[in-house]
């Protein structure tokens, strides 16, 4: 066959043969026959997320055909999510010199055979954000100029940096596939469209007309968008399924890929049609059953559990949440252990909404889902700011708050959905250990001890590659936290500020000495919540369902009475003290006179290192706004602790045992 320039839209000569409805053979062909349609220089798009939805049978036969014949050659491979098992499966089948000439993908970490070709400068290679590629397929189908978005701004994807080019060969010889454009007063990135010659997709059942259903698939992903992109590029669509049905027997509502888009269908061998690369079949992944969450065991105490527990304090009822792969997966386990999963909606980027996202080589799948949508729609939701909070892995961070999760020396993985999610979530929480490699910690008596320090620093002066731009986050006003097992940072315009440390940790020895830069320290860091380091559950559910602070402060003008309801409140940070002080002033300053005040301290708790800060704030309020104040709590210990602190500040220290006693003691005119 004659070679052609990658990406050029040329109709395949075999398309008419396979599509003709009156031919005896029809659309059902063997994998060996299907891969022979692929020609030198074709642009081939593949569906799949890790192993879910990947056409393993077709990829394996394509590899066999190339090794036997040396054809096809110089393919351009395009895909959104990482597809592979880190060894032999998935896109590793295509990791042969000569077979692929160019790769445009979202994540390469699971395909080490392709990684090697990229690292050795034997092929051209580009990273695009995963969500951008899933949208690009739709834009190619619609014959648009490309995908226009701000996703990728300020990162290594930005053409003002590397333009997503992964190696020296691409920087030297590769064309620019991304450009900066200016629209309506703002800069955007244009990811250029190009034709798709061949689409490799997967479903569960096909009828002989090529209609495809996905009833046993773990995900639906972007298979429809890929098929449309290829069809409207005069390309060829090959679908892998596990069974064939008679025409007219499939429920039209269950058809995910209409037969008008499908040129040929390959029935896979069972071993090449697992739901994921880790699980042959799990009915929970395909939403056929729901599993009891009680069967999920709690995590053992470890650095992973400490980090997940601290991160869980950032959850609020009714939040829509994304959990990244790896360390963030533990947050779902902690949420389940704390019995708060039903208060949240967890999501995963390939389209999972609700339930519990799976991990490892099952990542992307989910159990007990409320809904499953196509990946491009999920990224529509994400890109539009639909996520209340996202928890993503922390591999390297620097003094500007930049994060790198995509390149480490000669090893690179790509961003996957990281850039879409991290730039567009309303809040972003990065979670990971403070150092990497052989780190060992212990928890005893509610304190953390570093037994063996990790070999590699993760907080550097400058990250190797900017996957998340701290500068861009500051410009857009996005709140960002960095949570480790021993401390917590937040992003500020001045850089990363240290705001919390774990009990038992030495600030100089365990934190500052293990960083390549000096973080911002405006005041003494607070202690991380002591419950994180205890074996028993933290009682997070009661906290999530607690009354909002604004509803705890009530002024009754007819009685000139101010009621402060701190029942069940737990104060963990200086910022919370400041918020209380500000809200009280906001309510009472307009009153124009001092008020009589009752404070309910039942089940109130405060971090020990905040007692002085809190009582200083109380004294200021007493001096300026309270005519008389009484307090009550059933806790003897709290009455003693707060009473002593108030007495030192010459504030009436007595705290009563009941509301009735406190009200009677209030000396009103």
Looking at the chain, the whole-number percentage of residues with pLDDT higher than 90 is 79
Residue 615 and residue 486 in one domain: no
Residue 236 and residue 302 in one domain: no
Q: Average pLDDT of 503-509? A: 96
DSSP track, 299-329: PPSSHHHHHHHHHHTT--TT-EEEE-SSTTH
Judge whether 630 lies within some domain: yes
Please tell me the predicted confidence (pLDDT) of residue 65. Answer: 98
Residue 364 CA, chain-centre distance (Å), reads 11
Lowest mean pLDDT among 130-134, 158-162, 571-575: 571-575
Residue 306 and residue 387 in one domain: yes
The answer to whether residue 57 scores a pLDDT higher than 70 is: yes
What is the number of H-type helices and E-type strands within the chain? 17, 43
CA triple 134-138-140, angle to 5 deg: 110
Please tell me the predicted confidence (pLDDT) of residue 24. Answer: 39
Looking at the chain, the whole-number percentage of residues with pLDDT higher than 70 is 91
Judge whether 366 lies within some domain: yes
For residue range 82-125, list pLDDT tens digits in order: 999 999 999 999 999 999 999 999 999 999 999 999 999 999 99
Q: How far apart are CA 642 and CA 653, in angstroms?
A: 8
Task: Say which CATH number the domain at 615 has.
Answer: 3.30.750
Confidence band, pLDDT 50/70/90 cuts, at residue 18:
very low
Q: Average pLDDT of 373-389? A: 96
Residue 571 and residue 461 in one domain: no
DSSP letter for 607, please. -
Judge whether 112 lies within some domain: yes
Among residues 318, 311, 353, which one has the least CA distance to residue 335?
Answer: 311
Residue 199 and residue 244 in one domain: yes
The answer to whether residue 462 scores a pLDDT higher than 50 is: yes
Please tell me the predicted confidence (pLDDT) of residue 292. Answer: 85
Q: Average pLDDT of 448-454? A: 95
3-state helix, strand, coil in the chain (%, to 5): 30, 25, 45
> How confident is the prediction for the chain on average, in pLDDT?
91
Residue 428 and residue 518 in one domain: yes
Among residues 607, 631, 605, which one has the least CA distance to residue 618?
Answer: 631
Q: Is 536 among the catalytic positions?
A: no
Joined together, the tokens standing for residue 15 give 């398309």
For residue range 260-290, list pLDDT tens digits in order: 999 999 999 999 999 999 999 999 999 999 9
φ/ψ of residue 25, rounded to 5: -70, -35
Judge whether 153 lies within some domain: no
Residue 222 and residue 246 in one domain: yes
Number of domains in the chain: 3
Lowest mean pLDDT among 457-471, 618-632, 633-647: 633-647
Judge whether 69 lies within some domain: yes
Lowest mean pLDDT among 255-269, 329-343, 430-444, 567-581: 567-581
Q: How far apart are CA 45 and CA 208, in angstroms?
A: 23
Number of other residues whose CB lies within 10 A of the CB of residue 321: 23
Task: Say which CATH number the domain at 324 has.
Answer: 3.40.1080.10
Please tell me the predicted confidence (pLDDT) of residue 414. Answer: 87
Number of other residues whose CB lies within 10 A of the CB of residue 557: 9
Show which of 502, 533, 564 is a domain's final residue.
533
Hey, CA dihedral for 626, 629, 634, 637, is it positive or negative?
positive
Q: Average pLDDT of 351-363? A: 92
Catalytic residue among 242, 329, 349, 485: 349
Confidence band, pLDDT 50/70/90 cuts, at residue 4:
very low
Judge whether 432 lies within some domain: yes
Which of 253-265 are b and which e, b meaning 16 or more Cβ less than 10 Å from the residue's Cβ?
eebbbebebbbbb
Residue 453 and residue 524 in one domain: yes
Show which of 268, 283, 313 is a domain's final residue.
268
Residue 519 and residue 570 in one domain: no
Among residues 238, 244, 246, 248, which one has the least CA distance to residue 267?
Answer: 244
Note down the domain range covering 247.
Answer: 15-143+195-268
Please tell me the predicted confidence (pLDDT) of residue 465. Answer: 93
For residue range 158-215, list pLDDT tens digits in order: 999 999 999 999 999 999 999 999 999 999 999 999 999 999 999 999 999 999 999 9
Judge whether 574 lies within some domain: yes
Residue 557 and residue 517 in one domain: no
Joined together, the tokens standing for residue 113 give 């055979």
Residue 465 and residue 488 in one domain: yes
Residues whose CB is less than 8 angstroms from the CB of residue 611 and which lie 6 or more positions away in sequence, other chains included: 641, 642, 645
Q: Average pLDDT of 635-641? A: 56
Please tell me the predicted confidence (pLDDT) of residue 412. Answer: 83
Residue 415 and residue 368 in one domain: yes
Ranges of beta strands (E only) in 325-469 are 345-348, 352-353, 356-357, 366-367, 371-372, 389-393, 396-398, 403-404, 407-408, 411-412, 428-431, 435-436, 440-444, 447-452, 456-457, 459-460
Which stretches within 470-546 are classed as H helix? Answer: 470-476, 540-544
pLDDT higher at 136 or 649: 136
Show which of 249, 268, 287 is a domain's final residue.
268
Respond yes or no on whether the N-terminal peptide bond of residue 536 is cis (omega within 30° of 0). no
Judge whether 165 lies within some domain: no
């Amino acid at each position: 066959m004659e070679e052609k320039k990658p990406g050029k839209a040329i109709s395949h000569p075999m398309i008419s043969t396979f599509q003709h409805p009156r031919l005896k053979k029809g659309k059902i062909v063997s994998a060996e026959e299907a891969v022979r349609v692929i020609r030198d220089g074709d642009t081939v798009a593949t569906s799949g997320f890790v192993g879910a939805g990947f056409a393993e049978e077709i990829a394996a036969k394509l590899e066999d055909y190339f090794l036997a014949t040396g054809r096809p050659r110089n393919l351009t491979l395009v895909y959104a999510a990482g597809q592979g098992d880190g060894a032999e499966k998935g896109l590793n089948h295509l990791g042969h010199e000569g077979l692929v000439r160019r790769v445009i993908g979202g994540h390469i970490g699971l395909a080490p055979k392709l990684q090697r070709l990229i690292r050795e400068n034997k092929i051209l290679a580009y990273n695009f954000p995963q969500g951008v590629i899933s949208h690009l397929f739709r834009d190619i189908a619609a014959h648009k100029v490309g995908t226009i978005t701000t996703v990728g701004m300020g990162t290594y994807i930005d053409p003002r940096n590397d333009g997503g080019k992964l190696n020296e060969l691409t920087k030297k010889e590769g064309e620019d596939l991304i450009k900066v454009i200016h629209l309506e007063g703002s800069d955007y990135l244009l990811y250029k469209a190009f034709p798709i010659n061949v689409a490799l997709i997967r479903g569960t059942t096909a009828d002989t007309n090529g209609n495809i259903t996905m009833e046993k698939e773990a995900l639906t992903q972007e298979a429809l968008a890929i098929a449309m992109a290829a069809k409207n590029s005069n390309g060829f669509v090959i679908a892998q399924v596990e069974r064939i049905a008679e025409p007219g027997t499939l429920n039209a509502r269950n058809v995910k890929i209409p037969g008008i888009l499908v040129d040929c269908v390959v029935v896979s061998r069972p071993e090449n049609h697992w739901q994921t690369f880790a699980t042959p079949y799990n009915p929970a992944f395909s939403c056929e059953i729901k599993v009891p969450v009680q069967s999920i065991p709690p995590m053992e105490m470890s650095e992973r559990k400490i980090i997940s527990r601290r991160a869980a304090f950032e959850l609020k009822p009714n939040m829509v949440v994304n959990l990244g792969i790896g360390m963030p997966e533990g947050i779902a386990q902690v949420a389940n252990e704390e019995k708060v999963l039903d208060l949240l909606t967890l999501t995963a980027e390939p389209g999972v909404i609700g339930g519990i996202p799976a991990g490892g080589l099952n990542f992307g799948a989910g159990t007990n889902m409320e809904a499953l949508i196509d990946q491009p729609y999920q990224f529509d939701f994400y890109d539009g700011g639909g996520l209340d909070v996202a928890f993503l892995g922390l591999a390297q961070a620097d003094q500007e708050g930049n994060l790198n999760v995509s390149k480490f020396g000669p090893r690179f993985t790509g961003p996957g959905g990281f850039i879409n999610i991290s730039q567009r979530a309303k809040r972003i929480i990065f979670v990971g250990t403070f150092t990497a490699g052989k780190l060992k910690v212990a928890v005893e008596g509610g304190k953390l001890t570093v037994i063996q320090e990790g070999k590699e620093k993760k907080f550097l002066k400058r990250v190797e590659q900017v996957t998340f731009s701290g500068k861009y986050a500051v410009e857009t006003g996005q709140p960002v936290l960095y949570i480790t097992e021993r401390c917590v940072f937040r992003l500020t315009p001045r850089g990363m500020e240290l705001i919390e440390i774990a009990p038992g940790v030495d600030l100089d020895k365990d934190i500052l000495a293990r960083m390549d830069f000096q973080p911002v320290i405006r005041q003494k860091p607070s202690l991380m919540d002591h419950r994180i380091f205890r074996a028993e559950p933290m009682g997070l559910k009661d906290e999530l369902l607690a009354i909002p602070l604004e509803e705890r402060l009530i002024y009754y003008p007819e009685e000139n009475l101010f009621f402060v309801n701190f029942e069940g409140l737990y104060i963990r940070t200086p910022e919370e003290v400041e918020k209380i002080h500000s809200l009280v002033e906001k309510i009472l300053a307009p009153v124009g006179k001092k008020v009589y005040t009752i404070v309910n301290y039942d089940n109130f708790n405060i971090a020990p290192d905040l007692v002085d800060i809190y009582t200083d704030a109380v004294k200021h309020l007493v001096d300026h706004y309270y005519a008389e104040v009484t307090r009550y709590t059933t806790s003897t210990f709290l009455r003693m602790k707060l009473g002593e602190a108030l007495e030192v500040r010459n504030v009436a220290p007595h705290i009563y045992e009941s509301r009735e006693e406190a009200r009677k003691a209030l000396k009103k005119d």
